[in-house]
Amino acid sequence: MAMLEIDGVSKRYGGLQAVKDVTLRVGKGEIVSLIGPNGAGKTTLFNLITGFARPDSGRVRLEGEDVTGLSPEAVARHGMVRSFQITNVFANMPVIENLRLASYLRMRSPLLSDVFGLRSARDRAARTMKEANGILDLVGLARFRDTPAKRLAYGQLRLLEIAIALCVRPRLLLLDEPAAGLNSREGEKLTELLRRLRDGRGLTVLLVEHDMDLVMSVSDRVVVLNFGEKIAEGTPAEVKENPQVIEAYLGTP
């Protein structure tokens, strides 16, 4: 069963068809990128998936469970986690505490704490610390453990956002332009991290991105939107050579 199934989803704003009858699948452990020109409907589709907007028609399913039209909080509780640029970071808090807070909030959720069988506050504290340290190592921020988040460089902050999202233990991680504002070295680090998350942890990722180096090097599949419609889908190599995609978005190589 696919991790995410989007079936015939549409959204209209007044006279504008922002998303039109889009169907797509994201398999477990896959990295899928959503690309397309400005205004193609990528962010709107993210909003429809994550409960920030309601589709006019169509269904969204996470591992077979219908999450169409649920609130963003309810969607997040189902394990679909969206990393927002910077807004989830507490600037004055040390990096490690930002992560522990995210782990702690997850464990406080009655449903999930049952699953984890957590009994005492001390149990929780020990677990959140262990988990936060592990994730800091994984994203390469261990040396900034006690640094207030506001002292991080921009590229490090973007990694911190991903680390915070990981603390929620997503089934599906949605990243909105994770490479925006990164230099090429930071972009490469991000590519490596996403590969490590997929290959090492089996994480499933859907991302919206304009940075074609990142998209082409990290994606298992690429989905192309134009004027709200899906115009192509395939491996990076297939999409790169698709005449319709070249005309609408990529231009002549």
Interaction site with ligand ATP (CB under 6 A): 13, 16, 18, 36, 38-44
Of 79 and 178, the one with the shorter C-beta distance to ligand ATP is 178
The answer to whether 218 touches 191, Cβ cutoff 8 Å, is: yes
CA–CA separation, 5 and 27 (whole Å): 9
CB of 68 to ligand ATP, least distance (A): 18
CB of 42 to ligand ATP, least distance (A): 4
Of 54 and 108, the one with the shorter C-beta distance to ligand ATP is 54
Of 36 and 51, the one with the shorter C-beta distance to ligand ATP is 36
The answer to whether 180 touches 85, Cβ cutoff 8 Å, is: yes
Amino acid at 49: I
Of 39 and 58, the one with the shorter C-beta distance to ligand ATP is 39
CB of 16 to ligand ATP, least distance (A): 6
CB of 12 to ligand ATP, least distance (A): 9
